[in-house]
Amino acid sequence: MNGCGISRETGRPDDALFEVKAGKLRILSRSLKAYPNDSSNLHFTSLSDDCTLFKVHENGSLRVTNVTGLYNVRPSIISEGNLQIDGGDYNCSITKFDTNSSHPVSCILIKGGNAIISGGKFDSEGTAIGVLGGNLTITSGFFGGWDNAVYFNNDATTVNIYGGQFDKSNTTQGWYQDYGICALRGTLNIFYGSFYGDNNAVFVSGNVKAVNIYDGYFKQYGTGAVTGSAAFRSLSKNTKIYQGTFVGPKGIVCGSGEFALEDYLFIGRAGVTVTDDDMPVDISTKADFFGESYLKIYSDSDYPIITKEPESVDAFSGDEVVFKVEAENATRYEWHIFDADDKSEQPYSWEDLKQYYDVSGENTDTLVIHNVKGWFGNKGVWCTVYSDNDWNYSKNAYLTVHVKGDVNNDGVFGVSDVVKMQKWLLCVGELTNWENGDLCEDNVIDAFDLCLMRKMLIEQ
């Protein structure tokens, strides 16, 4: 399904609206505005207590792109096979993640296979992503649940997080999710991301095999009064912290008593710097916790330094648009594009976009959009710059695309624009966007522009 507007609603006691027992299913929507009232998006709803939207069996594979999954009493997706989610909006109103249930309710429930989440919004009253088996990789997205943004509890599970925001809060009421990440068993690797929690932004139990924090931002919202509360708390002895920022009245808690921070730091590089509010921290001293405000751990490395940020572009349809970033110590580049009005900044898939548009350089320092179309209007881009051992992010740059002749500003050029221009020249009506009608490019709207508009209309 490609570019369709479909809503499938059911109250029947089906096992699933889509059940993948074997083989592969791909569902693609070109819209990222993943809300039920958006007719350009694929959205699915179930009113049955016994039915999930998508069920993937062990031998099946599902990939959904920019799909809306609305569900109340079951996860939108239950996967025991291979799963990939590229954007979309998934909601769950159940307040408790009941691990004694055969299908604990979360936005997405992973019970086996390999799952990849590359963008999207996952909003739950309880737990957003539940992992009871298999492996999970998250590259970007917005995840929030009053209990947990992500919960996993399986010895064989590995969760890799390369980015994303893990947060659910109501600042007016002073409500915050308990945990950003709750890891009870398995292996956790955090490469980057923003994590928040009232108790812990990240909590790791003593049964977790290994936890590696390569970088990230971790913030504890609470006061630190709850036992064990901290931005990052790990009871696993197999914990290594490379670098990161830990914000709150307690930054890091390891174990259940005093500990020396140096026992949990990776110091194999040229050196490690630890500060709290820019004041040096003695990593050899033992304490119940480290960090009383803004604890920052930085490992010296060949950190890529961005020397020139990408600049925003204002273009007409058909133009060639170029975004460029310059950086020192850079070995690899990765550009991302998103809707400018999407706060989660979930990126589109270049693989999908290249089916419809001419784009090149997404893995170089220069991103080029050839013969740009109106779809690219109101889009933002940023670039992840990598060195051999580290990475950095550029600032966002934005793209505005005008359609030549589109004086009524509806995103397309047609007969209605010619009529509107003609009426305006006769002093009847107004032009919504006169700049689009300046085809002679002389900052004047006159009959010569109208002649060119008529020619354009004939040549369409």
Please indicate, yes or no, if residue 120 is contained in any of the structural domains.
Answer: yes
Please indicate, yes or no, if residue 149 is contained in any of the structural domains.
Answer: yes
174 and 278 together in one domain: yes
Residues 6+ apart with CB under 8 A from 4: 29, 42
Can you give the CATH number for the domain in which 373 is found? 2.60.40.10
Predicted local confidence at residue 7, as pLDDT: 46
Predicted local confidence at residue 5, as pLDDT: 44
At 316, list the tokens. Answer: 């007409």
Predicted local confidence at residue 36, as pLDDT: 42
Supply φ then ψ for residue 274, to 5 degrees: -125, 125
Residues 6+ apart with CB under 8 A from 103: 52, 74, 75, 78, 109
324 and 218 together in one domain: no
333 and 419 together in one domain: no
Total domains, the chain: 3
Please indicate, yes or no, if residue 10 is contained in any of the structural domains.
Answer: no
Q: Are strands 239-241 and 208-213 parallel, antiparallel or unpaired?
A: parallel
Q: 273, 299, 325: which is the final residue of a domain?
A: 299
216 and 326 together in one domain: no
Three-state secondary structure readout of the chain? CECCCCEEEECCCCCEEEEEEEEEEEEECCCCCCCCCCCCCEEEEECCCCCEEEEEEEEEEEEEEEEEEEECCCCCEEECCEEEEEEEEEEECCCCCCCCCCCCCCCEEEEEEEEEEEEEEEEECCEEEEEEEEEEEEEEEEEEECCEEEEECCCCCEEEECCCEECCEECCCCEECCEEEEECCEEEEECCCEEEECCEEEEECCCEEEEEECCCEEEECCCCCCCCCEEEEECCCCEEECCEEEECCCCEEECCCCEEHHHHECCCCCCEEEEECCEECCCCCEECCECCCEEEEEECCCCCEEEECCCCEEEECCCCEEEECEEECCCEEEEEEEECCCCCCCCCCHHHHCCCCEEECCCCCEEEEECCCHHHCCEEEEEEEECCCCEEECCCEEEEEECCCCCCCCCCCCHHHHHHHHHHHCCCCCCCCHHHHCCCCCCCCCHHHHHHHHHHHHHC
98 and 201 together in one domain: yes
Q: 299, 324, 349: which is the final residue of a domain?
A: 299
Note whether 161 and 193 are within 8 A (CB).
yes
111 and 200 together in one domain: yes
Distance from CA of residue 382 to its chain's centroid?
Answer: 13
Please indicate, yes or no, if residue 280 is contained in any of the structural domains.
Answer: yes
* CA distances in angstroms from 167 to 113, 303, 332, listed in the order given: 26, 27, 29
Question: Taking the model in full, what pTM does it have?
Answer: 0.70
188 and 292 together in one domain: yes
289 and 216 together in one domain: yes
Please indicate, yes or no, if residue 221 is contained in any of the structural domains.
Answer: yes
Please indicate, yes or no, if residue 205 is contained in any of the structural domains.
Answer: yes
| Burial group, residue 271, by CB count within 10 angstroms (0-12, 13-18, 19+) | exposed
261 and 291 together in one domain: yes
344 and 396 together in one domain: yes
187 and 270 together in one domain: yes
Predicted local confidence at residue 31, as pLDDT: 57
- In terms of residue numbers, what domain contains 268? 93-299
436 and 322 together in one domain: no
Beta pairing partners, 328: 305
Please indicate, yes or no, if residue 107 is contained in any of the structural domains.
Answer: yes
Please indicate, yes or no, if residue 229 is contained in any of the structural domains.
Answer: yes
Torsion of CA 425, 431, 436, 440, to 10 degrees: 20
Q: What is the pLDDT along the chain (460 residues), one digit of tens a residue?
A: 444 444 444 444 457 788 899 999 988 876 554 444 444 457 777 666 667 889 999 999 999 988 887 666 678 899 999 999 988 889 888 877 777 666 788 999 999 999 999 988 999 999 999 999 999 999 999 999 999 999 999 999 999 998 999 999 988 888 899 999 999 999 999 988 999 999 999 999 999 999 999 889 999 987 666 778 999 999 999 999 988 999 999 999 998 899 999 999 876 545 688 999 999 999 999 999 999 999 999 876 677 878 889 999 988 888 899 999 998 889 999 999 998 887 777 789 898 899 889 999 999 999 999 999 888 988 999 999 998 777 888 989 999 888 776 677 766 777 777 777 777 777 877 777 677 666 777 777 777 777 877 777 776 6
Q: 250, 276, 299: which is the final residue of a domain?
A: 299
What is the residue type of 175? W
